[in-house]
Chain A
Amino acid sequence: DTEVTQTPKHLVMGMTNKKSLKCEQHMGHRAMYWYKQKAKKPPELMFVYSYEKLSINESVPSRFSPECPNSSLLNLHLHALQPEDSALYLCASSLGTDGEQYFGPGTRLTVT
């Protein structure tokens, strides 16, 4: 089973709201990732967690705050977002940080 789940599927939020995206995997993977994908563009890496520790932050603005409560869960906390942050947010996981990454279905975020 190579399933990564993400909730919610869709999210509409105002610029002053606080919301969270959630990601879960039960494959025993020790690396988890957040990506952002704009329309007709490839995914862009935001954060990498390895063994529940943040190992890579690709200079993402502080209005995005990741959290890894345990080896199966990954959250992305959102606060004071801008309309240009509207995108598909993808979670992925892999056994190790150089292996095959499996993506969840994504959360389509619209900031109004």
Chain B
Amino acid sequence: QKEVEQNSGPLSVPEGAIASLNCTYSDRGSQSFFWYRQYSGKSPELIMSIYSNGDKEDGRFTAQLNKASQYVSLLIRDSQPSDSATYLCAVNTDYKLSFGAGTTVTVRA
């Protein structure tokens, strides 16, 4: 079983819609959770971090964490063409960051 799994995508959404990304993790001891955005040919850019159960909102992004279900999600509201990228879920367990395979999102103008 992979440590971090993401819905594989690709995900195509129209401009202005909500993009929903999901991630599950295998280790119940994991304590910190992150979403990174990576444009083609660039390095990962941190967009959200979440440490406790519930929702965390930052602009058009909302991260949700449910430790009981070992589930993390990211919602992108009012999607823009500039949101087209690969989104990586990352989970920190025992001071090591493990990444999911990534979900490629395309926002159609």
| A 19-48 contacts with B by CB, 8 A | 33, 41-43, 45, 48
Q: Please, which residue of chain B has its CB at the minimum distance from the CB of A100?
A: B49
Main secondary structure of the interface of B (DSSP, over half): strand
Binds A, one of B54-62, B64-72, B90-98: B90-98
Main secondary structure of the interface of A (DSSP, over half): loop
Q: Which residues of B contact A106 (CB under 8 A)?
A: 43
Q: Kindly state whether residue A7 has any CB partner on chain B within 8 Å.
A: no
Q: Interface residue count for B (Cβ, 8 Å)?
A: 21
In contact, B43 and A104 (Cβ under 8 angstroms):
yes
Q: Give the top 8 A-B pairs by smallest Cβ distance, nearest first.
A: A42-B99, A97-B95, A103-B43, A106-B43, A100-B49, A103-B44, A105-B43, A98-B92
Interface residues of A (CB under 8 A from B): 2, 33, 41-43, 45, 48, 50, 55-56, 58, 88, 90, 97-106
Interface residues of B (CB under 8 A from A): 31-32, 34, 36, 42-46, 49, 88, 90, 92, 95-102
